[in-house]
Amino acid sequence: MDVDLIFKIAAIGIVTAVLNRVLNQSGREEMAMMTTLAGVVVVLMMVISLISNLFNSVRTMFHL
Amino acid sequence: MDIMKIVMVGIIAALLAVVLKEEKPEMAVAISIVTGLVIFVFVITKLNSVMMVLKHFAAKANIDILYFSTILKVIAIAYITEFGAQICRDAGEGAIAAKIEFAGKVLIMVIAIPILAALMDIMIKIIP
């Protein structure tokens, strides 16, 4: 059970939220958008690897 | 105690998701997905010994391996479908969740067709 991933995603979320605020305040909306997008992509990569792990374990468990 | 661990992980993840929901709803969804996956993978490794016992009983009772593996496949499809539908519903997409559940039902029906065919064969044999 690797709980680290949950904390990692929460940290990425908080950091991107803060960056988004700062960049929006300094008037760089396009950079804020880019940081949001990058954060979502990074998190999605983590989640996808975990989902494939789950599918593999289910497949071996139930002999599909 | 494993259940304590799982409950603690769930509570912490729920707190983090609530903190992030204001600023970044998509990250909150990712946290809920990852928490569900972590707990699910943790639990499914425990299920291994139960599977062994069930298979042993099935072999002892002379049940056709086709039927047993069909049941296992149905259970797996039900688990995964429920998981995906729950996450979609959590993210506020009830329509997609309903479609996932519908797809799961259809696939379970497709898998169960051989058993239905066998049942029909038996019935036709009994009632000439």
- Cβ distance of B34 and A6 shorter than 8 Å: yes
Answer whether B25's CB lies under 8 Å from A17's CB: no
Is residue A56 helix, strand or coil?
helix
- One digit per residue, pLDDT tens: chain B, 128 residues? 888 989 999 999 999 889 888 888 888 888 888 898 888 888 888 888 888 888 888 888 888 777 888 888 898 899 889 989 998 998 888 999 999 999 999 999 999 998 888 889 999 999 87
pLDDT in tens, B13-48: 999 889 888 888 888 888 888 898 888 888 888 888
Please check the confidence at residue A64 and state whether its pLDDT lies above 70. Answer: no
CA B90, CA B82: separation in Å to the nearest integer?
12
- Cβ distance of A12 and B45 shorter than 8 Å: no
- Residue B65 touches chain A, beta carbons under 8 Å: no
**What are the φ/ψ torsions at residue B61 (nearest 5 degrees)?**
-85, 5
CA B122, CA B128: separation in Å to the nearest integer?
10
Window 19-58 of A: residues touching B by CB (8 A cutoff) are 20, 36, 39-40, 43-44, 46-47, 50-51, 53-55, 57-58
Question: In this structure, how many other beta carbons lie within 10 angstroms of the beta carbon of residue B96?
Answer: 15
**What are the φ/ψ torsions at residue B114 (nearest 5 degrees)?**
-60, -35
Q: Give the one of B5, B20, B41 whose C-beta lies nearest to A57's C-beta.
A: B41
Q: What is the pTM of this model?
A: 0.77
